[in-house]
Amino acid sequence: AGLDDVANGTTTQATNFPGYQIPDVILNWPAHGDPSLGQDWHLAPFYDRDGDDFYDPSQGDYPKYDLIGDI
């Protein structure tokens, strides 16, 4: 599941966790601000699974902090 699904194009997450719903704290993550209001576009860090620069948990994006300084 998880990364193996990404690598193999499988969907074992849905099989292993039927009925799973993404928690509100993940869905409502403040990834982007509103530049027209003087806010930064990149407001809160997140892993962007598909690299499109938009936060979308349904596409595998999730909140992420670089706690050990790898980035």
Query: pLDDT at residue 14 above 60?
Result: yes
Tens of pLDDT, residue by residue over 27-62, are 999 999 999 999 999 999 999 988 999 999 988 899
Residue of 63, 12, 56 whose CA lies nearest to 4 = 12
Q: How confident is the model at residue 2 (pLDDT cuts 50, 70, 90)?
A: low
Dihedral over Cα of 18, 25, 54, 51: its sign: negative
- Helix and strand numbers (H, E) in the chain are 3, 2
pTM (predicted TM-score): 0.70
Give residue 26's pLDDT.
Answer: 94
Q: How far is CA 29 from the centre of its chain?
A: 9
